[in-house]
Chain A
Amino acid sequence: MRRLWVPGALVALILLLALLAPWLGLPDPVRQDVANRLVGAMPGSPLGRDEFGRDVLSRLIWGARTSLAVAFASALIAGIVGTAFGLIGAWFRGLGELLAVRSMDIILCFPPVLLALLVVTLLGPGAGTLILVLSVLYLPIFARVAYAEALSARNHDYVEAVRALGAPTGRILLRTLLPNIAAPILVQLSLAVAAAVVLESGLSFLGLGVVPPAPSWGLMIRGARATMEQAPLLLLWPCAALTLTILAMNLLCDALRDAVDPRGLALRPRRRAIDRILPGLLPEAKPGTEATLGMRGLTVEIDTPRGVIRPVEDVSFAVHPGETLAIVGESGSGKSVTATSLMGLLPPAARVVAGGAWLQEKELLRLSEPELRKLRGGAIAMVFQDPMSSLNPVHRVGDQVAEAIKAHNKGISAAEAKKRVVALFRRVGIADPENRVTTFPHEMSGGMRQRVMIAMAIANQPALLIADEPTTALDVTVQAQILELLAELKRETKTALIFITHSLSVVAEIADHVTVMYAGQVVERGKVDEVFAGPLHPYTRALLAATPEGDAAPSGIPGVVPLPTAFPLGCRFAPRCKHAAPACEAAPVPLEEVRRDRLTRCVRWRELSAKAEAAA
């Protein structure tokens, strides 16, 4: 809203000056005084006199009056008529739409200045002609905006309700629809006024707009051009007035548009230099295991306009060669942030503040970008959720896979790369790979696209493959095929696989180990069969109950995952847990090691599992 003030005040001032021109005690703007031709500042004329000895300041202010009068009159006429056309088109559709809205588009076939000149030829120059031309020019824009807005408003419940009450059409259009589409029309109106000022001054400058001696900024610039060598200031004043007016109007329009449609406002990530220099306290010790990937205490922070949030806190796990680790949880549990931080692909506003991840000898979270780039697509690869948006729509799929090969095999020939791509396509089960490499992503089915993504990921025999909900965007039958493909690839290549999903039934099918995440924390960890047989955390139990079979999203747990801005102090699941006790909410709950490789974050796990055993 602050952005509205400065341009708003400026526009208001210009309008006020123009409106009050007759009462400001200015000299007559058209009275000539040849004796004082081109005189500089003089008493009564602070800006001097023009080539006919007329007062420049007076002509500037009266010129604003002319320009703005023409601009407002034409924008208003175009706004009223165009909105009416748009409303009629949206209400009646069919022929009404064709006549009232589509026919207007013809006007857009002409460059505006030329259409104006054509009409001036027919009708002769003058303010009346200008208003007519300008209102015709802006008509289609209003008709389109009103049409589009009314069309979407028309289907809203409140319009349906008024309609069902039997209100006459005219009344619905004026009383119900119009107020609801007023905001975009007003923005368009201010845009049209600004554009009309430009066009009016341009035509007047050519001597085809406002008729002399009436004052107009365009005419003043035209006049001052002849004497620019003797009196350059005479040229600068109207230029400055015109530019300032249009600048203020444009800024006001931008601010208005943002106020009406806040979607356009981007969030600006806040970055502190200190975060670049000291990336948190990272543990020095490397876990002494033969794991492909060992992750310890990963914590990620994101700067948001509402403060710093921690979508991932103290997450640890390990994956071994040929093994699959599933990370399970609802949306908002921090699964994907965990995966993207491993790849070094966190958004700029996010940063790792603690933890370490060791891929064989290398600590991923502290690697430099060039080092990390060598690993990405090489030793670690990732398959994303939506293969449609993850493939670039303008490049052939074969080229996109070849890119991954070329990035990690310097100096490989194009023919050799292509041969490898065809082999990879065959490997991931794409029929007719020789021809498929030249298709575009939009020409493939969802399952085929995901196969391409997998081919891209395994192109350089990664030690670790991360699959982030790779089947969520696919049909059920295709899901099974993709899972089978991933399981097969893992068996054959001994790749370690991290499989991120919200579905426990998928976990049962593919994973050896499972890590359950909730609100940024690990709440349970263990072997898949053990966790399924005897879940220790109420959240795991609720997830299991919610997905008895199939791949449905967990729906049986009341409530939603809390936002990172509002994590509870104690157990984060407590507000949704039916076993919650006062002790749960008192203090943060630590992750407890029940036995080797079996962890849970629940203060009541002993009594709850005892109760469960008794029930069974």
Chain B
Amino acid sequence: MTRWLFGRVLISIGLAWVVATIVFMALHVVPGDPAELLLSSNGVAADPAAVAELRDKLGLARPILDQYLSFLGGLTRGDLGNSLVDDYPVMSEIALRLPRTLELIFAGSLIACIVGIPAGTYAALHRGGTFDRIASGAAALLLAIPVFVVGTLLVLVLAEMLRLMPAGGYVPLAQNPAQHLMLLALPAIAIGKGLTAIIFRMSRASVLDALSKDFVRTARAKGLAPARVLSRHVVRNALTPILTVLGLQMGTLLGGTVLVEYVFNWPGLSTPLLRAVEARDYPMVVGVVLTISGLFLFINLVMDILYAALDPRIRTG
């Protein structure tokens, strides 16, 4: 178990290194001078003085290996460089905003699991019934509506037309917990909607699959009560594929936060990211992309560990 865990952590670190290297190389493999590229817009050539200044700022004059090593060195120290716009350290900006993005992701996944798993299980147990048909249709619709459309429509209906909820914004939890949760609700629903649909579908499929297994027949042959057969032998075994899907969908979920935070003015990582993309502030973009990709790798690592905890065959296998 510890050896397996050690190996799995090593793989994650290796992947993180690959991601960092790719992000570093992206700036250099694009044909032409990176500084010129970052300063040009719509084919208009940039001011040579500004280009020279940016080259200097990014350290582009140094040998590429030297740049690469100092980039990696900075990463290990948690130094992601400074913003090109205001010279503010990228790391401080991220440290401030990351918890808010994490909160959104956590709330969205929580909603998805709380709604998706029971609904999927119920639909599987009553396959072909009214609930199954309605819920399956709703899941197809939820999957089809892009996350920013859901967000925008929630704002339009609940905030603008019915005036039930605030349209967006942020209040720290310590300052006003009720208001904080109120503001969290809509973005969390928006971010969790697609995942809810996917978890619903996966729970339904894997519960159906588990129901047909021989060990469920054994459990019934033992004379166990239906509730116990369901919890210990059906849902418990159906959890592993659900978890796999949860891990696979994290990429979409993390990308979705960018859109949802924008729609609801949630001051997470997306605000500096979008500002930086527009201003072509490369260090800031790299910082946020690396942070979220690292988060993605980390979540997948946690999923794998949970997976092993749920399925003993993986630990020894």
Contact = CB atoms under 8 A, between A and B. Distances in A.
Interface string B171-184: 00000000000000
Given A121-B282, A268-B128, A392-B237, A407 B223 contact: yes
A392 B219 contact: yes
Contact of B15 (A109, A119, A121, A206): A109
B305 interface: no
Interface of B: 15, 18-19, 22-23, 26-27, 30, 34, 37-38, 40-42, 127-128, 140-141, 143-149, 152-153, 155-156, 160-161, 208, 213-215, 217-225, 228, 232-233, 236-237, 250-252, 254-256, 258-259, 262, 273-274, 276-278, 280-282, 285-286, 288-289, 292-293, 296-297, 310-313, 316-317
Contacts of A235: 152-153, 156
A121 B208 contact: no
Contact of A456 (B218, B232, B258): B218
The 10 A-B pairs of least Cβ separation, nearest first, read A113-B255, A377-B223, A247-B144, A377-B222, A376-B223, A389-B214, A392-B215, A404-B222, A111-B254, A111-B251
A118 interface: yes
B289 A110 contact: yes
Contacts of A381: 221
Given A198-B146, A393-B215, A117 B258 contact: yes
Contacts of B274: 117, 206, 208
Given A111-B293, A121-B280, A395-B232, A442 B312 contact: yes
Contacts of A244: 144
A119 B26 CA distance: 8
Contacts of B316: 440, 442-443
Given A246-B144, A392-B218, 20 more contacts: A111-B250, A111-B254, A111-B293, A117-B258, A120-B277, A121-B282, A122-B27, A122-B37, A124-B41, A221-B152, A235-B152, A243-B146, A266-B208, A268-B128, A345-B220, A376-B222, A382-B221, A392-B237, A403-B224, A442-B312
A208 B279 CA distance: 11
A109 B19 contact: yes
A326 interface: no
A414 interface: no
Contact of A202 (B22, B160, B233, B259): B259
Interface in A371-414: 373-378, 381-382, 384, 386, 389-395, 400, 403-404, 407-408
Interface size class of A (residues with CB under 8 A): 35 or more
A504 B16 CA distance: 62
B152 A225 contact: yes
A119 B30 CA distance: 10
A210 interface: no
Interface string A224-254: 0100110010011001001110110011000
Contacts of A218: 148
Nearest to B274: A206
Contacts of B223: 373-378, 404, 407-408
A246 B26 contact: no
A386 B214 CA distance: 8
B169 to A, nearest CB: 15
Contact of A106 (B18, B30, B208, B281): B18
Contacts, number: 212
Given A376-B222, A443-B316, A118 B42 contact: no
Interface string A186-219: 0000000000001001100111100000000010
Contact of B146 (A246, A382, A453, A456): A246
Contacts of A400: 218
B160 A239 contact: no
Contact of A117 (B236, B289, B296): B289
A204 B223 CA distance: 58
A253 B286 CA distance: 35
Contact of B144 (A109, A243, A373, A443): A243
Interface string A102-133: 00001011111111011111111000000000
Contacts of B296: 109-111
A114 B289 contact: yes
A343 interface: yes
A376 B221 contact: yes
Contacts of B293: 109-111, 114
A449 to B, nearest CB: 11
A374 B222 CA distance: 9
B144 to A, nearest CB: 4
Contacts of B256: 113
Given A114-B255, A345-B220, A208 B292 contact: no
Interface in A314-349: 343, 345
